Amino acid sequence: MREAHATLPVADPPDHGPVRRTSPCRPGDVREAVARAVSEQCRTAQCDADALSDALLVASELTTNAILHGGGVTEVRVDVTGPSVRVSVSDRSDELPVTRTAAERARGGRRPGGHGWPIVCRLSRDVLVADLPTGGKCITAVVPLS
């Protein structure tokens, strides 16, 4: 089975290699990269539309969390291997993601949020948080496509 992948670094890259971005990543950019990589893979394999929606939501949540809580996105990698898509989003923060309880969200008053990380964990088959050697972290979520 073929593999498809895309990398979206946010710094100025050389003029070679995988798909690259030179402007800040937004959730829509990452959703597009996931959709593009999955559609390439689905030419030869069966992909469920609901599973693709789950993968797009996970990609969006990881990116939004990196922007809001991680000091910004530093790199995004999307790999489709077999029946799964792996979305990796790196950011500048060493802080681990946390889940806010319903009571904590209620006490937070008008402060929105607290739903993204549980969504990522619920929709993903595997989630890995890794420290980066240069600082920051990379969160990788594997979402089944069937």
Domain range spanning residue 56?
3-144
Query: Mean pLDDT, the chain, as a whole number?
Result: 80
51 pLDDT higher than 80? yes
Checking if the pLDDT of 3 tops 60, the result is no
How many folded domains does the chain comprise?
Answer: 1
Distance, CA of 86 to CA of 135 (rounded, Å): 22
The predicted-structure confidence for 25-45, as pLDDT tens digits, reads as follows 789 889 999 998 888 877 656
Q: Does the structure show a pLDDT above 80 at 107?
A: no
For residue 73, what is the domain's CATH number?
3.30.565.10
Distances (CA, A) of 7 to 16, 97, 132: 12, 23, 17
* Tens digit of each residue's pLDDT (9 = 90 or more) over 62-97: 999 999 999 999 999 999 988 899 999 999 999 998
Whole-prediction pTM: 0.78
- What are the residues facing 105 on neighbouring strands? none
What pLDDT sits at residue 21? 39
Q: Are 33 and 88 in contact (CB under 8 A)?
A: no
Give the mean model confidence (pLDDT) for residues 114-125: 92
Q: Report the DSSP beta bridge partners of residue 127.
A: 141
Q: Per residue in 4-27, pLDDT tens?
A: 445 554 443 333 333 333 345 789
